[in-house]
Structure 1
Amino acid sequence: MVRVITQETYDEVVKENIEEFDMSPEEAIKEAVAQFEAQGVDLSNIIKDLSLSSGENHLVSETISKLKDLVAKGGSEEDLLQELEVLKSECSKDIAHRVRAGKEGAYTLLLDLLYSKHSKIYEELSDRDTKFMIRLLECMAALMEMQPDLLDGKGVDLIKNILDNIENEDIITATLKWTTTCCVKHEMNRQKLFAKNIGENLNLLLKVAGNEKLLSECLQVIRKMTLDDDVRVEFGKAHDHAKELGAQMLVPLTNLLKENTKPPLVSELMLTIASLLVRHELCKMVAECGVGVLFTVLADNYDNVAVVQQADKLITALAGHDEVKRDLVKSGIVPIVVSILNRHSSNPTASALTLKCVAALCLREPTHGLQFIENGAPEAIVECMKVHPDNASVQKNACWAIRNMVARCRDQNSKFHELGVESLLNSAYEKFAPEFGFDIKSALRDLECDVKLDEQWTGKGVQLDY
């Protein structure tokens, strides 16, 4: 069990090292850290770089105190901006600084300042007001990174009001960045924002032309809405969010992909589309809108491994719909996928994702498996297994690809045997049996290799009374 301590306890130990053992501040900090780590204490929430010898407060606390004084006394915006920059810099250092700022009331302070500027939304915002509001939003995003619990109902209302009423694209971009921060690892924040119909705002923002930064932040919020990463919640609504957002946005997103087939937006667009494909009708919707754009994307970015990885994810997601999968194969996706597998075989992530793509396209489709074999997929798969023998994802996805290719085409097994795949699978079993030994044995079984299958359930020989 992980142990934790308070900032005050840590400070006292450092001070004791300085006063009792005549250490320098640097030595005192190093000794305190070593002492607590030896005891199994988690110091991730502790500010370690302290100037304690002079007895001064933390810079985070001093900055927040100065901000409060400036607000109370009606200080100038220039002074406020200066202190906000310091606070943002401190919050950007690590989670410990952000936790300290949160405890000192930074969230409430920033929110009140935002509301004071937000009250002018029905007026024309001056350049100075705009600059000040953007700085506040950036500072809020820095403060709440990895501590989204700070968001309250007032903050949710402010996000919605800004998106509803402010047209300045820089302010909207900063608001979306704050929104993204609020949604990471926090299911309730996502649900509260979704309940405010934020999807409607995001859908409208997709139509804003020419602002790549704004579109990128918008796509990030869409993806974060579909996450299921909050371990504190037993049942989230990631699927429901993806279903509703997909129905609204997949058509405009696919159209945007047609217009942006090269970096920087192409990867984000494909990743966002893939994250929304959670139902058959949504896959069909994208296909009808024009899935042929994938061929253009792959042709334009054949050597770009980052783009290829996202294209693999999108093809795999679309292949979840059998009719769409058949249309992709009829359109000629097979030789392209095999070519990608050969081109990027040295990259473990790209290899794993492309192998998963092969497995998805061949699932329950023997004719697809035959096409892959005819286009040289066995050689490419075996090469990936040889290049990445210690990569679990590559080995596991290779097993799936092999199984789906030969499960209904056993007469094609000889091709894999000629390439020595049996020894590769046996080597993988020795390394990864506890993780996915069943998948490896299943591949060996479908290749008609000599394999001993474990009996999963056995009777105890007990006489049953009737």
Structure 2
Amino acid sequence: MVRVITQETYDEVVKENIEEFDMSPADAIADAKAQFEAQGVDLSNIIKDLALHSTDNHLITTILNRLRQLCVQNDYKDDEILLELDKLKVECDKEIAYRVKAGNEGAYNILIDLLESRLKIYFEESNDKDCRFIIKVLSTLVSLMNMQPDLLEQRGVDLIKSSLDKINNEDMIVHLLKWVNMCCIQHEHNRQRLFQTEIGENLLKIIKSGSHAQTVSEAMQLVRKFTLDDDIRVEFGKAHEHARDLGIKLLEPLTSYLKANIKPPVVSEVMLTMATLLVRHELCAAVADAGGDAALFAVLADNFDDVSVAAQASKLITALAGNDDVKKKLIKAGLAPIIVSLLGRHAGNPNVAGLILKCIAALVLREPDHSRQFFDSGAPDAIVECMKMHPDQANVQKNGCWAIRNMVARCREQNSRFHELGVESILNAAYDKYANAFGFDIKSALRDLECDVKLVEQWTGTGVQMER
């Protein structure tokens, strides 16, 4: 178990080194670090170079005290607060220890107070001066809450929702969404509280408007954040429920947006967001009915050489292939030779090649007609060449095994071609490396290729006679 200490404990040890052992500040800090690290203490949240003779001397403390003084004055000048906010942002951007100190000393409440009071004025007057001030506060909040989303509380949640409901300025919305995105990273409770405010309606409005690319991009990032399951403190999250509800609401407008924006980098983000939301059969069908399949062909035709587009298009096609009817529609439209050509074009990139191989595996699963179309398009050669090219890439080897197994499982006449390409030795070499990780998948491919493979019986009886 990782051990942790407070900033005060660290400060006391360094101060003791200076006062009782007559060490220089540098030696005192080095000795304290060595002591704690030897005890297995995690010092990532500790400011090591803190001026220790008085914690009030630390710059973060000084900045926050100055902000408090300014906030209680009725005649303060914006420039004075903006200057302190700039200083605070610089400190928070240094490392997590500085952000933790700022959070512990009340920086979040100061910023929320500033934001709340200035938003109230902005909603009444809507002037550029207030807009710039609000953006600065939001930017500082993003820096402060980086890797510490626990600071968000109900007042912040309510402020986020009311702001999204009322603000029309694109720059302000972008910075507001950046803050919301930061609040949702590795924090399931924040995601659920925000989702319960019906923030999906605000995201729908932003995506439907489509007038500002950066705003739409931030909105799509937030959509994907709601589908994460990255908070180890929560046993069961609501990633699937969020994806389902957002998919029902957003997939149709996202499909329309995809049709109108087929150039990178926007198109890659749209496809990634759509793939994230395709968690049910009816959602796949809805995208196909809205013309998403045709849009995919247009995207691939215009961006065949783009690595990012190839990767995200493969993810989207794999997700759509979860619906058998949509899968058949895609193949009928001529997708097989395009995918094989795409694999040949991007074979040198192991990440993209792995995604395309996974896409092939999904498209041919339980579909012998699809398998034959891929075979006729030269898929065996492309698959085997990829596996030869990347013997040390686990994702390529695993997804290649899936693609081979699914192709030949119901089309054993294809085995001879794979054997001609030397696939057995490639699979055996992969088994030697990855037996513990996905040895079963490799043996499944060898079995369906009718190779000599030893299958181990997983569960056996003990031979004990059962009494009646």
- What TM-score do the two structures reach when normalised by structure 2? 0.96
Deviation of 1:403 (Å): 0.6
How far apart, in 1, do the equivalents of 2:367 and 2:5 lie?
57
Deviation at 1:408, TM superposition (A): 0.4
Tell me the residue number matched to 2:376: 374
Aligned counterpart for 2:330 among listed residues 324, 328, 331: 328
Unaligned runs of 5+ residues in structure 2 are none
Matching residue within 434, 440, 443 for 1:441: 443
CA contact (8 A) 1:18 1:53 kept: no
Q: Give yes or no for the alignment of 1:406 onto 2:432.
A: no
- Corresponding residue of 1:196: 197
What's the counterpart of residue 349 of structure 1? 351
Is 1:460 equivalent to 2:442 in the alignment? no
Q: Report if the CA contact (8 A) 1:133-1:171 is conserved.
A: yes
Moved more, 217-226 or 229-238: 229-238
Displacement of 1:383: 1.6
Secondary structure of 1:73's counterpart equals coil
Q: Map of 1:46-61 to 2, 5 A cutoff?
A: 46-52=46-52, 57-61=57-61
Query: 1:271 maps to what in 2?
Result: 272
Matched residue, 1:71: 71
Counterpart secondary structure, 1:207:
helix
What does 1:117-266 correspond to in 2, within 5 Å? 117-266=118-267
SS at structure 2 position matched to 1:292: helix
Match of residue 111 from structure 1: 112
> Structure 2 CA distance, aligned partners of 1:352 and 1:22?
60
- How many pairs align? 466
Preserved contact between residue 177 and residue 218 of structure 2 (Cα < 8 Å)? yes
The CA deviation at 1:31 is: 4.1
Separation in 1, partners of 2:397, 2:454: 20
Output the CA distance in 1 between the equivalents of 2:426 and 2:148.
45
Q: Is the 8 A contact 1:121 1:165 kept in 2?
A: no
* Per-residue Cα deviation, 1:415-458 (whole angstroms, up to 9, x for no partner): 11111111111111111111111111111111111111111001
- 2:453 corresponds in structure 1 to 451
The worse-fitting range, judged by mean Cα deviation, of 105-114 and 23-32 is 23-32
**What is the alpha-carbon distance in structure 2 between the residues aligned to residue 154 and residue 345 of structure 1?**
51
Deviations 1:54-81 (A, max 9, x none): 8763222221121111112343211100
Q: 2:96–2:147: 8 Å Cα contact kept in structure 1?
A: yes
Q: Secondary structure at the match of 2:168?
A: coil
CA–CA distance in 1 between the matches of 2:306 and 2:39?
47
Q: What does residue 36 of structure 2 align with? A: 36
Q: Which residue of 2 aligns with 1:2?
A: 2
**Partner deviation per Cα, 1:162-203 (whole Å, 9 max, x = no partner):** 011121111111111111111111111111111111111110
Distance 1:55 1:180, change over 3 A: closer
Segments of 5+ residues of structure 1 without an aligned counterpart are none
> By how many angstroms is 1:227 displaced?
1.3
Contact (CA 8 Å) 2:122, 2:130: kept in 1 or not? no
Cα deviation for residue 229 of structure 1 reads: 1.5
Structure 1 distance, partners of 2:427, 2:21, is 60
What is the identity percentage for the equivalent residue pairs of Structure 1 and Structure 2?
63
Indicate how the Cα distance of structure 1 residues 343 and 106 shifts in structure 2: closer, same or farther if over 3 A, else same.
same
| Separation in structure 2 between the aligned mates of residue 64 and residue 323 of structure 1, nearest angstrom | 60
Supply the RMSD in Å over aligned alpha carbons: 1.7
The one-letter code of the counterpart of 2:41 is V
How far residue 131 of structure 1 moved from its aligned partner, in angstroms, is 0.5
Q: CA deviation at 1:327?
A: 0.7
Of stretches 10-19 and 49-58 in structure 1, the one that deviates more from structure 2 is: 49-58
Tell whether the 8 Å contact from 2:388 to 2:426 is kept in structure 1 after alignment. yes
Post-superposition shift, 1:50? 2.9
